[in-house]
Chain A
Amino acid sequence: MAKKILLIEDEKILAEMYKDKFTEAGFEVFLALEAKEGLKLAKKERPDLIILDILLPRENGITFLTWLRKDSKIASIPVVAFSNYDDPATKREAAKLGVKEYLIKTNYTPSEIVAKIKQLLADER
């Protein structure tokens, strides 16, 4: 069965680009443009992994993480922070909230990020 990925990304161009790439790579992709929508989808779809942008409209990625960790049903879903916001304090906070990795978008092509996520999911098993 295809692995489910929840992508929380507010930048439409990037969201579509990553969605295309992950779909092409055989993932089932759910897209949320903001944190609340992301939480709803996480509860509904129970994805295998969440790719989370940090700077989002209204509540940011860190808030999303605190929500996620409080809900016991979805708290254990692995999260990869994927953002161009490269702020040390935010990275620390994200690490405290248990993100697998904090990746900077410009450092990865879509193929590279797909490979990275596949690797992470394989490690999860």
Chain B
Amino acid sequence: MISYTNLLLILAALVNFILGLTVYFYDRRNKINITFFILVLCTVQWIVSIYFLWNSTDPDIAFIWGKLSFFGPTLLPVVLIYFSYIFPNEIKKITLRRIILLLIPSIIVYVFVFSNLIINGVEIVKWGSNVKLASLFIVFPIYFLLYIFYGFYNLILQYKRNEGKWLERLQIKYLFFGFILSSILGLLLNVIMPIFGISTLVGLGPLTTVFLIVFTSYAIVKHQLFNIRVIATELLVGLVGLLLLFDVMSSKLPGLIALKSFILLVFIYFGYELIKSVLREIQRREEIEKIDRAKSEFISIASHQLRTPLTAVKGYISMVLEGTYGQLAEKLSKPLENVYQSNERLIRLVNDLLNLSRLDAGKIEFSPELTSLEEMVSGIVEELRINAKKKGLYMKMIKPSELLPKIMVDQDKIRQVILNIVDNAIKYTKEGGITFELKKLDEQEEIKVSDTGEGMDERELNSLFQMFSRATAGTQLHAEGAGLGLYVARQFIEMHGGKIWAESPGKGKGSAFIIQLPIKLDLKLIKEKTRIITKAPNDIF
């Protein structure tokens, strides 16, 4: 018959062992993971010794287990101190000399244990075993406490040195919490109560290590971005396996035992495969994330490098055009203006590529602010009026019949979208002009930009917002631009939960671009579309 104490001990050993093994196998070369595994082995050794001490019927054998039950707990604080030196960062190199110095008292304690100076016998009683404390028992709790305080001190140092690093500090807090919980409970059950003659609960002492192991492994896991799902799967498989094992052990008929053993074996096999597949999947995902990070960093650096010469061209040409370097000959102003515009196009292309790569990686930032679309659009109209005028085009804005309420939009993105549309409109319109119209619908606000330009047929309209496609009018008239702008525009508008499309009555009849943006932002949708939101959601919504 398996008692509750036994069941709890086996469970605790299993939980600790599985966690230790998982962390160890995640990164076998990492000092932190190896040290943690040794820590786990100490706790498991303790639990196993207590289990046999508790279940022995022979006092002599029980006494041996009683002595052995000090092995793990004596080594454990040394390992903990070492751990506190290296986790989450190595605060200072711990020398071999220091380790040896730390181990000498441990060895002395163990010599005391084997000289029967800590405990001097075990008495079998009906609830388990009663350990008889010897004259020098007090040495053990003093040793243990001193070492634990040393570990605490290191953790506090770690906490101080990791100022400003929230993740590291969080990890230390977890470790601290597990440390304290286990130490207090452990001391209570194994030291304080036996001193007062209550040994009935000594058997439960090792259970307290579960807190230390669970919190520490969680802290390591958080550091190494290790997926909690692996641990959950392993624990589940382990526990079901254990239940099946109990079931086998409690059966009496040989046929039934054979059948249940077979089920257990099959379960172990599939459980193993399950854990392996979860691990594989996570490793694959981590690799992808690593590549993703490298890619986005590369894009950021590359676009920086591309932009530097573009900035110089933009800056100097603009200054020449403004007359900073003296009166400009009229003959020169047109070509220089063309250089400036081409350079602007290149700048936009770099921006589009940067946006595209971020959209692709799902890493685009989204920072909505309360905005008046009317103000934004009239600002853009004023800004581009000169450009339109140069081409002999008019630019007008039809004000909305009712006041448009301010809505939450990412200003930079919406501005970029409108600029892109207007830029295209100017590009593809030979005569006439561009009209802006703003409207409030039931749940949306609408911006319509119509031109008297080339117009588009059905086929062109359909492929307009896809990557690398351009309406044929574009191909005939101009060869610049890779058609990324409208694709990015669509992504930006959809990110807001809005819609963008184009209409045209046909070739030569002009076209219109319509943007509809929701008056109320759907936060859930934005979270799905973007990974990062620049401001805390509470500030915005």
Contacts and interface: CB of A to CB of B under 8 A. Distances in A.
Nearest to B306: A84
A110 interface: yes
Contacts of B310: 106
Contacts of A17: 312, 315-316, 319
A83 to B, nearest CB: 8
Interface string B302-322: 011001101110111011001
A106 B345 CA distance: 11
Given A87-B300, A88-B365, A106-B347, A14 B312 contact: yes
Interface residues of B, number: 26
Contacts of B315: 14, 17-18, 21, 109-110
A85 B316 CA distance: 20
A92 B322 contact: no
Given A88-B363, A88-B532, A13 B312 contact: yes
A74 interface: no
B350 interface: yes
Nearest to A85: B304
Given A11-B308, A24-B324, A88-B365, A109 B314 contact: yes
A106 B354 contact: no
Given A83-B304, A91-B534, A106-B310, 5 more contacts: A20-B319, A21-B319, A85-B301, A91-B365, A109-B315
Interface in B107-124: none
B311 A14 contact: yes
A88 B319 CA distance: 30
A120 B346 CA distance: 29
Given A21-B324, A86-B354, A106 B311 contact: yes
Interface string A50-87: 00000100000000000000000000000000011111
A46 interface: no
A36 interface: no
Interface string A100-116: 00001111011100000
Interface string A4-20: 00000001011001101
A107 to B, nearest CB: 8
Interface in B176-205: none
Contacts of A20: 319, 324
A104 B303 CA distance: 11
Contacts of A24: 324
Contacts of B301: 85
A27 to B, nearest CB: 15
**Pairs A-B, 5 closest by C-beta atoms:** A84-B307, A109-B318, A87-B300, A105-B311, A85-B304
A24 B307 CA distance: 25
17 contacts: A11-B312, A13-B312, A17-B312, A21-B319, A24-B324, A84-B303, A84-B304, A85-B300, A85-B304, A91-B365, A92-B534, A105-B308, A106-B310, A106-B351, A109-B314, A109-B318, A110-B319
B295 to A, nearest CB: 13
A32 to B, nearest CB: 18
Contacts of A106: 307, 310-311, 314, 347, 350-351
B308 A84 contact: yes
Interface of B: 297, 300-301, 303-304, 307-308, 310-312, 314-316, 318-319, 322, 324, 347, 350-351, 354, 358, 363, 365, 532, 534
Contacts of A107: 347
Nearest to A89: B532
Contacts of A55: 304
A100 B315 CA distance: 22
A45 B480 CA distance: 47
A88 B367 CA distance: 11
A39 to B, nearest CB: 19
B322 A14 contact: no
A4 to B, nearest CB: 22
A110 B320 CA distance: 11
A76 B315 CA distance: 30
A12 B444 CA distance: 49
Nearest to B318: A109
A111 B322 contact: yes
Contacts of B312: 11, 13-14, 17
Given A105-B311, A106-B311, A106-B347, A88 B534 contact: yes
Nearest to B316: A17
Nearest to B365: A88
Nearest to B534: A92
Nearest to B312: A13
Interface string A24-58: 10000000000000000000000000000001000
A23 to B, nearest CB: 11
A14 B314 CA distance: 11
Given A92-B534, A106-B347, A106-B350, A84 B311 contact: yes
A53 to B, nearest CB: 10
B343 to A, nearest CB: 9
A105 B318 contact: no
Contacts of A21: 315, 319, 324
A86 B304 contact: yes
B308 A14 contact: yes
Contacts of B318: 109-111
A13 B312 CA distance: 7
A21 B312 CA distance: 13
A80 B178 CA distance: 45
A88 B350 CA distance: 16
B531 to A, nearest CB: 10
A43 B532 CA distance: 36
